[in-house]
Structure 1
Amino acid sequence: MVAIVTGASRGIGRAIALDLAAAGFGVGLLARNGERLAQVAAEIRAAGGECAVATADVTDAGGAADAVTHLEGALGPTTLLVNNAGRIDAEVPLWEADVEQWRAVIETNLIGSFHVSRAVVPGMVARGAGRVVELASGAGARDTVVTSAYTDSKAALLRQVGHLHEAGFDLGLRAFGLAPGVVVTDMTSSMRQHEGRTDFTPVERTCEMIRAIATGELDAFSGCYLRVTYDSPASLRARLEKGALPPSARRLLIAPWGSDDPHGDGFTPVR
């Protein structure tokens, strides 16, 4: 089993990489900061795990593709891709946003994810199996008053999850949007909206969910938005015991204003 984790040099990505390595995955570590990646790799190897390192900026399509080629050359074909690399913009409304910063957030969170997926997914499809996890956010599932680039990009990732599911399900591909809650990281610690916050979500919940996804036990939730603050592998298994999910469950939709409104009704996914 081989996993590639982007943004693996710190925060949630680092925790995911360490956890997957401890679970027996060969882990491809991808991030911009080579020094920090080397530290994560040293931790994994000291614990007896297997990993490979590639330094790249996911916003560079060629660099991302080269990184994937290097990691798969060292570890073997990717069975799990965790698109975690991301950044956030200033906590201001759209009309006060810095143009270059706004663009950079979209390029990292959304286009960067596309670049890595575009490099990894063809191999998964050719082999008839593979799982992609997009680190989404609760902010992408609702309207907010600040950080418009971040929320726009995270909403788009949920739509990308749906696309991968619809286009790839019959080819063996499974895709998941996973919101990690508010985890203590450098990013959240710098945000005004989290000043004084005490109810952080343990990163271990995200790691547990990704491990469950990697084993295939949550494949019934492919295409769906999962949020570890409220969901767990156990709660999702319990939900499946109640019967099949409604076709539109946990999908990004437009809610109709009533029974006479066609928008949001008649959702007919491939699976």
Structure 2
Amino acid sequence: MAEGAVPAARTALVTGATRGIGRAVALGLADAGLDVALLARDEARLARVAAEVRDRGRTALALPVDVTEPGAVAEAVARAEAPVADGGLGGIDLLVNNAGRIDTEVPLWEADADEWWQVVETNVRGPFLLARHVVPAMLARGGGRVVDVNSGAGTHDMAVASAYNVSKTALLRLGHHLHVAGTGSGLRVFEVAPGTVATDMTGSMAMHADRTEWTPVERTVEMVAAIASGDLDACSGWYVRVTHDTPSSLRKLVETGTGPTSRHLRVLPANGSDRLGPDLTGR
């Protein structure tokens, strides 16, 4: 292992792990040889996914929790990090922030205020709380990895679902903060957009009502497994979209040379003569 390298992950904590992308990632990590802590609100579904992980010969820890509740998150993380002899995983090497929700597809002035804030709480407060409680122990052990399941909605303007649009943009910035603040201490952070996967959430959305082509969830599983192995650590801080990116294509991008703000959230200058341009793109 190269000097300063972070060991491959042996354990993972996955939120929103009972269905869709979260379940697929949890099982994919188990197939890759990781023990997995599973977080979600539905205790019965958690038990079923935990059984599937154990059927793959790996340890599973089912933790019913609402990711927006600080005390519950702290307790869940403590249970996951407990020694193996005490029923825990002995530490968390990889955090996958997958739990998320979307608001009604209307413009902001028609949005329900309570629903709007609940979406932001799940999509931003949840990842914040998980990282707040998981990352310190990672750093104490010399490093670890965080994957935020993000979205193309974090990279462009949307006319509807403003809470989702805002929250996924904020999640990008949160991930980039973790990268900048923690990379020197061994923290590696990735914003992974899974494309449009057929899930309960996307199936309920009007914008996808006539969609016939979906992004295979296996592409996200492959990407997260590659991240867990340490194979993509040179891409820490990046926004990655599995509809266009593969582990192999990302490695090739790194080989051709990248800048300090590669795949980072930026405000772009109006044009080449914009006097603000150097300040926007130079830091």
Q: Do Structure 1 and Structure 2 share a fold, with TM-score over 0.5?
A: yes
**Alignment pair present for 1:23 and 2:36:** no
Shift of 1:127: 1.3
**Tell me, what secondary structure is at the counterpart of 2:280?**
coil
Shift of 1:266: 4.3
| 1:15-94 matches, cutoff 5 A | 15-73=24-82, 74-94=88-108
| 1:222-261 matches, cutoff 5 A | 222-242=236-256, 244-258=257-271, 259-261=273-275
Shift of 1:160: 0.7
Shift of 1:132: 0.4
1:67-99: CA deviation from partner (whole Å, max 9, x where unpaired): 111112211111100000000000000000000
**Tell me, what secondary structure is at the counterpart of 1:265?**
helix
Q: Is the 8 A contact 2:235 2:254 kept in 1?
A: no
Alpha-carbon distance in 1 for matches of 2:221, 2:251: 17
Q: Is the 8 A contact 1:53 1:71 kept in 2?
A: no
Q: Identity, % of aligned pairs?
A: 55
Q: For 2:244, give the aligned amino acid.
A: Y
Alignment counterpart, residue 220 of structure 1, candidates 222, 234, 248: 234
Shift of 1:161: 1.0
Q: For 1:46, give the aligned amino acid.
A: D
Alpha-carbon distance in 1 for matches of 2:176, 2:63: 28
Alignment counterpart, residue 126 of structure 1, candidates 140, 157, 177: 140
Alignment counterpart, residue 223 of structure 2, candidates 209, 224, 244: 209
**Tell me, what secondary structure is at the counterpart of 1:110?**
helix
| 1:182-201 matches, cutoff 5 A | 182-201=196-215
Shift of 1:265: 3.2
Q: Which moved further from structure 2: 213-222 or 172-181?
A: 213-222
Q: Is the 8 A contact 1:132 1:176 kept in 2?
A: yes
Q: Which moved further from structure 2: 211-220 or 30-39?
A: 211-220
Q: Which moved further from structure 2: 255-264 or 111-120?
A: 255-264
Alpha-carbon distance in 2 for matches of 1:148, 1:265: 25
Match of 2:111 in 1: 97
Match of 2:280 in 1: 265
Q: For 2:23, give the aligned amino acid.
A: R
**Tell me, what secondary structure is at the counterpart of 1:78?**
coil
TM-score between the two structures when normalised by the length of structure 2: 0.92
**Tell me, what secondary structure is at the counterpart of 2:211?**
coil
Q: Which moved further from structure 2: 212-221 or 56-65?
A: 212-221
Alpha-carbon distance in 1 for matches of 2:254, 2:151: 23
1:43-85: CA deviation from partner (whole Å, max 9, x where unpaired): 1112222111111001001101101111122111111000000
**Tell me, what secondary structure is at the counterpart of 2:259?**
coil
Q: Is the 8 A contact 1:7 1:85 kept in 2?
A: yes
**Tell me, what secondary structure is at the counterpart of 2:37?**
strand
Shift of 1:237: 1.3
Q: Is the 8 A contact 2:12 2:95 kept in 1?
A: yes
Alpha-carbon distance in 1 for matches of 2:60, 2:282: 42
Gaps of 5+ in 2: 1-9, 83-87
Moved over 6 A (4+): none
**Alignment pair present for 1:141 and 2:141:** no
**Alignment pair present for 1:111 and 2:114:** no
The alignment's C-alpha RMSD in Å is 1.1
Alpha-carbon distance in 1 for matches of 2:152, 2:25: 19
Alignment counterpart, residue 168 of structure 2, candidates 142, 151, 154: 154
Alpha-carbon distance in 2 for matches of 1:4, 1:98: 32
Q: Is the 8 A contact 1:247 1:267 kept in 2?
A: no
Alpha-carbon distance in 1 for matches of 2:231, 2:276: 35
Shift of 1:140: 1.1
